[in-house]
Amino acid sequence: MNAQAIADEIRGALAERRQLAPFVGRIEGFDNTAAYHVARLIHEARIREGATPVGRKIGFSNRDLWPQFHIHEPVWGHLCESTVSRLVAQRGPLPVGRLLEPRIEPEIVVHFGAMPPRSADTAAILASIDWVAHGFEIVESIFPGWKFQAADTIAACALHAALLIGEPQSPARRGADLADRLERFTVALARNGKVVDGGRGSNVLGSPLAALAHLIAVLASQPRAQPLAAGELVTTGTLTGAPAIRPGEVWSTMIDGIALPGLSLQLAA
């Protein structure tokens, strides 16, 4: 197995906007460990070309999606500045016409003002966060029909295409019960004004804070992975299903139970 050749194949497919056969089953021995090696090679190549790392994403933290995609564990990937923007500063519709079978995911995004502890203590993790926001992650699949195994998604940059972040909110201003609210709040997801799905904070491994604790533990278990650092943001996984999106649609969310504003995003070709 040639990890560099696999990384080059993925980068070529993404650049040329074409899809590939999954690697699991096609390449002997291709597992999660090999996939994270490939993902690291892609990330390092992007940095050499001038990309600026800004954080991580957690994928498949919503267990409700595991049967649909035949995935049985969360994955993680790197985020770079070029694919992350503030939704409040977005000028005009988001182009999605060139993306590969794109889908939309409403998520909770956090930013670390201090390095989070290597701990499962969600209160300690929350204390290291300097803002919380609601966001949309746009994901795409270089594998036709969204048919893949976990290792395929890891290698393919955790399927990340774009992250649009709503207005950041200070945890101190959200109240002393923010941890509980992050678990209990609900979100409704609408397409063109019609609600098509709903979810709650507990959908992502029990809560977005629990998802962060999981990521911290996974990074600690991977010898070549860097721990989360001050200044990084993390998007914690979709609170609802991940519906397919098309140019011309307007997607919006309504949130209840936590003081975070809903979002609206128009899509273009």
Residue type, 97: G
Dig out the tokens for 62 from the structure. 């919503």
Decide if pLDDT at 174 tops 90: no
Q: What is the pLDDT of residue 99?
A: 98
3-state secondary structure of 5: helix
Mean per-residue pLDDT, 87-99 = 85
pLDDT, the chain, mean: 96
- pLDDT one-digit tens code per residue, 55-78: 999 999 999 999 999 999 999 999
User: What domains appear along the chain, each with residue ranges and CATH number?
Assistant: 3-268 (3.90.850.10)
Express as a percent the part of the chain with pLDDT over 70: 99
Q: What is the pLDDT of residue 249?
A: 98
Q: What is the pLDDT of residue 88?
A: 74
Mean per-residue pLDDT, 103-126 = 96
Decide if pLDDT at 253 tops 80: yes
Decide if pLDDT at 184 tops 80: yes
Decide if pLDDT at 243 tops 80: yes
Phi and psi at 193, nearest 5°, equal: 85, -5
CA 136, 70, 17, 197: dihedral to nearest 10 degrees? -30
The answer to whether the CB of 235 falls within 8 A of the CB of 87 is: no
